[in-house]
Structure 1
Amino acid sequence: MIQWSKEIMIPTDIETVWELFDGEQIQRIMPNVVEHKPIEIKEGVIGSTYQQTYQEGKRKETYVVTIIEYENTDQRKHEKIEFVLAKAFKIQTTFTLLKENDQQTTLIYSGQNEGINFLGRAMLKLGGKKNNEKVVNDFVNLVRDEALKDS
């Protein structure tokens, strides 16, 4: 299993950053997600499901994302999702935004990727921590850059 947690300060308001996690804007911060459509939207958000299609090169994977935690207040925005990718990985990711003041937001991006069969566990070992760190760093930097374009 690979786990990660990365925290960065984004010099803009919390609402601007949070809007990037909306389904209609998700491709700005997750450019490889080529499709994101609701399957079932639950009242209170928790339990809502979305079908996502992820493309890397010519390979496309479609999977169902479930929201398992959700909070949306003036001071704190939080969403935890989980999905199974390629029948080999169970992935959970958490996005937490904390309002520091009107022009500063802390983004905490954390998660885990667990191999759920032999192939998944072997691929995680081969993928290595360095590659995962790069993916995590690239993601938080992209969120910051996109939020600054809107502020």
Structure 2
Amino acid sequence: MKKWTRDTEINAPIEQVWKFLDGSLENMQKIMPQVVEHKRVKITEKVVGSVYRQKYREGKRTEEYDIETVEYLNEAIEKKLKVGFTLAKMFEITAFYELNKINNNKTSFTYTVTSRPIKWWFLKLLLVFATDKVVVEFLERDKKVAEAETGR
């Protein structure tokens, strides 16, 4: 299993950053432009256990997978969202987003991704091709979009 964790401070209120993760498809696409569809499959009262079917476009190829909410916290000063899904029948992925309010106009954002190969021979692919580039680019894009929308 590979794990990447990166964090950044964003000059935007916590609610501004959160809406990209826990909001509409339109808001989600601002930081995840490859997501072309995000539909409810099963919604639970406590959010944990909810399932969404998501379509993700990479070049000409579109992947479809179900994303399950594994952890969820939506408080005024702290927000967490952890989701899990299987990518291309090859890897089990978790994405964990943690937001903490620093002050009214600044948010700490920690992003952790894990990737576990489903079959042992996929491990070689993971070891050769897996880098933290996607994690770093995601955080940079989120920071840029959130700060642009708040005029910072």
* Other structure's SS at 2:45 match: coil
1:94 aligns with 2:91: no
1:134 aligns with 2:133: yes
Structure 1 CA distance, aligned partners of 2:102 and 2:134?
26
Compute the RMSD of aligned alpha carbons. 1.1
Point out 4+ residue stretches in structure 1 off by more than 3 angstroms: none
Unaligned segments of structure 2, at least 5 residues: none
Cα offset, 1:27, TM superposition: 1.0
1:85 aligns with 2:87: yes
Kindly provide the CA deviation profile for residues 46-104 of structure 1, in whole angstroms up to 9, marking residues without a partner as x: 00000011111111110000000000000101000000011110001100000000011
Structure 1 CA distance, aligned partners of 2:54 and 2:79?
22
Identical aligned residues as a percent:
36
User: Relative to structure 1, is the Cα distance of residues 119 and 37 closer, same or farther in structure 2, using a 3 angstrom cutoff?
Assistant: farther
Structure 1 CA distance, aligned partners of 2:37 and 2:7?
27
Q: What residue in structure 2 maps to residue 35 of structure 1?
A: 37
* Other structure's SS at 2:132 match: helix
Unaligned segments of structure 1, at least 5 residues: none
Structure 1 CA distance, aligned partners of 2:88 and 2:24?
22
* Other structure's SS at 2:147 match: helix
Quick one: which amino acid aligns to residue 9 of structure 1?
E
TM-score by length of 2: 0.93
* Other structure's SS at 1:74 match: coil
* Other structure's SS at 1:136 match: helix
Quick one: which amino acid aligns to residue 120 of structure 1?
F
Q: How many residues align?
A: 148
Structure 2 CA distance, aligned partners of 1:33 and 1:101?
31
Structure 1 CA distance, aligned partners of 2:113 and 2:135?
10
Structure 2 CA distance, aligned partners of 1:59 and 1:19?
27
1:4 aligns with 2:14: no
- Check whether the contact 1:92–1:113 (CA below 8 A) recurs between aligned residues: yes
Cα offset, 1:119, TM superposition: 4.5
- The structure with the greater share of residues assigned to helix is 1
Structure 1 CA distance, aligned partners of 2:42 and 2:31?
23
Structure 2 CA distance, aligned partners of 1:35 and 1:120?
27
1:111-130, aligned counterparts within 5 Å? 111-128=113-130
TM-score by length of 1: 0.94
Quick one: which amino acid aligns to residue 29 of structure 1?
I
